[in-house]
Amino acid sequence: MADRLSIPKTYKLAIGGAFPRSESGRTYEVVTPKGAFLANAALASRKDARDAVVAARAAFSGWAGATAYNRGQVLYRIAEVLEGRRAQFADEIRASEGATALQAAAQVDAAIDLWVWYAGWTDKFTQVAGSGNPVAGPYFNLSVPEPTGVVAIVAPQEPKGASLLGLVATVAPALVAGNTVVVVADRAHPLSAISLAEVLATSDVPGGVVNVLTGSPAEIAPWLAAHADVNALDLSGAGALDWVDLEIAAADTLKRIVSPEPGVPSRSLQRILAFTETKTVWHTKSLL
């Protein structure tokens, strides 16, 4: 009896909770390290990037306005759903990165554990980073961190070990405070990113909170860096691009910037706070 003929997946973009093809109609070949064909991924265009920013902006007030407890549960739910799909992600990583079964499984597990770590921060970072301020006057004064807004991310572009983990290490911290995200996936290994978007779509993450673009970071990043409705730019994975030019473009609207760093960014509270704004409120106390 012949082997069952498999059904390959069409890998598309993830914008505003839907999975459209690139409006440009373009695709590019995703191949194994040895050059074998894996899939045709969407080659996102400038227009796709703009659509993604519109979707992220529309989703911002809802996600930022959700309670910290609720955001924490949604982020934890992602880990739960990922856990059930470990085999799928490991297979994609093995094929795409040429990783061993052990390496692929380890990357998936690390990514899931990282989601859980960040999920637990949603209702804690405010206490750690905020303050009650003893001003010299009859005022109740406090400072709290709030989400910056729409964060554009260039995910790590590493030859190995980062196609899922690098994505999670950059996207998850931006979501903690209530930001919404447009992420440009690892160009050479985009399968995990699209599969992750499918997980997000089934994990109670509101549409538009995470928008995933596949394609060329060198082509898309300049449009995101210059986009006036993007508030912050995470260039973690942009080390091989003309990232100084991207920072210069971002300066036109004074975006918050995280500069490139090699490898997978390590987990930290600082990564959460990089996409927050401190709001200080002075409340007058009446004179009794």
Partner 1 sequence: MSFLEYAPAPESRAIVKLRPSYGLFIDGSWVDGHGEPFSTISPASEERLAEIATADEHDVDLAVAAARRAYDRTWSRLSGADRGKYLFRIARLVQERARELAVAESLDNGKPIKESRDVDVPLVAAWFFYYAGWADKLDYAGLGANPRALGVAAQVIPWNFPLMMLAWKIAPALAAGNTVVLKPAETTPLTALLFAEIVQQADLPAGVVNIVTGAGGTGQALVRHPGVDKVAFTGSTAVGREIAKTVAGTHKKVTLELGGKAANIVFDDAPIDQAIEGIVNGIFFNQGHVCCAGSRLLVQENVHAEVVDRLKQRLTTLRMGDPLDKNTDIGAINSREQLDRIRSLSDIGEQEGAERWSAPCEIPENGFWFAPTIFDNVSTSSTIAREEVFGPVLSVLTFRTPAEAIAKANNTPYGLSAGIWTDKGSKILAVADKLRAGVIWANTFNRFDPSSPFGGYKESGYGREGGRHGLAGYLKAGN
Residues in contact with partner 1 by CB under 8 A are: 128-129, 131, 133-137, 139, 141, 143, 148-149, 228, 231, 243-244, 247-248, 250-254, 256, 270, 277-284
* Choice between 10 and 266, CB closer to partner 1: 266
Is 147 within 8 Å of 275 (Cβ atoms)? yes
* Choice between 80 and 146, CB closer to partner 1: 146
Beta carbon of residue 95, minimum distance to partner 1 (angstroms, whole number): 36
* Choice between 121 and 243, CB closer to partner 1: 243
Question: Directed axis angle between helix 165-176 and helix 191-201, to 10°?
Answer: 40
* Choice between 32 and 270, CB closer to partner 1: 270
Beta carbon of residue 26, minimum distance to partner 1 (angstroms, whole number): 30
Ranges of H-type helices in 137-242: 165-176, 191-201, 217-226
Element of type H or E holding 86: helix 86-97
Beta carbon of residue 182, minimum distance to partner 1 (angstroms, whole number): 18
Q: How far apart are CA 44 and CA 50, in angstroms?
A: 10
Cα distances (Å, whole numbers) of residue 114 to 6, 190, 248: 32, 19, 32
Element of type H or E holding 81: helix 68-84
* Choice between 173 and 215, CB closer to partner 1: 173
Beta carbon of residue 97, minimum distance to partner 1 (angstroms, whole number): 30
Beta carbon of residue 185, minimum distance to partner 1 (angstroms, whole number): 24
> Pairing between strand 37-42 and 27-31?
antiparallel
